[in-house]
Amino acid sequence: MTKINIGLIGYGTVGSGVVKFLSNRKSFIKNKFNTEFTIRTLCDLKLPKKNTRGLGRTRLTKKVQDVLDDPKIDIVIELIGGLHPAKEIVVKALNQGKHVITANKALIANSGKELFRMAKKQNCHLYFESSVGAGTPIIKTITEGIVGNKFNSIYGIINGTCNFILSEMTQRNYSVAQALTEAQKKGFAESNPTLDINGMDSVHKLAILVYLTFGKFIDVNDIYREGITHISHDDIEHATSLGLSIKLLAIAKKEDKNIEVRVHPTLISKNHPLASINSIYNAVYMNTDPLGSVLLSGEGAGQMAAASGVISDLINFASRGNNSALPCNRYSEASGLKIKKIDQIKTKFYIRFMVTDKPGILSVITGILGKHGIGINSVTQKAHNPTSTVPVIMLTDYTSEKMLRLALNKIHKLPVVKSKPVAIRMEKLW
């Protein structure tokens, strides 16, 4: 029987889920993997206020050093999130020769290269399956299951909160604010959901996926980002009528030595598998060579989903030990890769204008778009009502981001345009 002592730092939603998982599956893990996991020490600043039932003889402490300095602890699980002091904790653990598991996407996205190099130097492993997709085995699939393939593109629904909000807007006619409130009630959104709804959470996860697939460490500030706060129910309705679905997509494409990386709401065909990914589910759709298209999907939010990924890392560690390098801990980069700026990217767009219904408005708007080289594929306008503001919906041909922005800025200044135009990118995934 292999016995592994754990130092758990962070006893929030995920940390308590890990404790629950290990307690409920103790016999199963013993019988199947001939391994016994023991949480030797648990560290959290708010322990007296938390339920510590089920921890048995686990040592409880508020001092991180009680975990890091204990020579009997084999692996440290960091679940406090954020960059600091999480980074300092992981650095100290590795320098003490301890293996580390983390669910911290911000940490891996911002400091992965440095930490992987340190882990190699100390002959340790750094596991992070739950940092992308919670318990859905996205990282292990990429780095082991299909590692021999060439990766051409990634399209990811990798924030469960945003996907839940957009699903509620579609299915229950909610506004963004109403859907967010519902997500918070159900525990699918933080009390401060800013990093979710502004797209930053997806940016962190996309940076990790780009490193794993394309071999490029990207500064998160170089990833173009838009959140979902500007999406209205009108946009949901128009998309549905056009046979389209709006998803917050994390997108990465590689062509020759150029990589484009972006996170934003995206219109996709309702016939594509990603369009059916709803509620808190995450999915990653990858185009690979020679395997072809690969779709991975599972719950991307919630206590036990994230805990499942942590347990997967624990069992992976138990079976691997110190014997071989961890495939996801590579820190060398592919040479010569460049990030395309958003202005260099061409896509099709859905544009919604709210205008005073007067004769000649369409010709004025299309005239400005035409002067900027933007072709129009279709136009939809509600029935005339000269006393009201009405939406005008246009679908463009492929156009550059730069020219579209210039055109929309001019159109926004027209007296008959009553609000900032909404532009949503469209992607053809087949």
Known catalytic residues?
Answer: 205
Say what the alpha-carbon torsion angle 28, 103, 12, 303 is, to the nearest 10 degrees: -60
Taking the C-alpha atoms of residue 366 and residue 374, their distance in angstroms, rounded to an integer, is: 9
Beta strands 150-157 and 292-299: pairing type?
unpaired
Among positive and negative, which fits the CA dihedral 97, 18, 159, 225?
negative
Coil, strand or helix at 96: coil
User: Are the beta carbons of 9 and 302 closer than 8 angstroms?
Assistant: no
Say what the alpha-carbon torsion angle 389, 395, 398, 404 is, to the nearest 10 degrees: 0
Taking the C-alpha atoms of residue 173 and residue 97, their distance in angstroms, rounded to an integer, is: 53
Taking the C-alpha atoms of residue 112 and residue 92, their distance in angstroms, rounded to an integer, is: 15
User: Residue 85 gets which letter from DSSP?
Assistant: T
Largest CA distance in the chain: 81
Q: How far apart are the first and last CA of the chain?
A: 49
User: Are the beta carbons of 43 and 68 closer than 8 angstroms?
Assistant: no
| Tokens describing residue 47 | 């322990």
| Tokens describing residue 35 | 């391994």
Taking the C-alpha atoms of residue 10 and residue 15, their distance in angstroms, rounded to an integer, is: 6
Taking the C-alpha atoms of residue 113 and residue 331, their distance in angstroms, rounded to an integer, is: 5
Coil, strand or helix at 315: helix
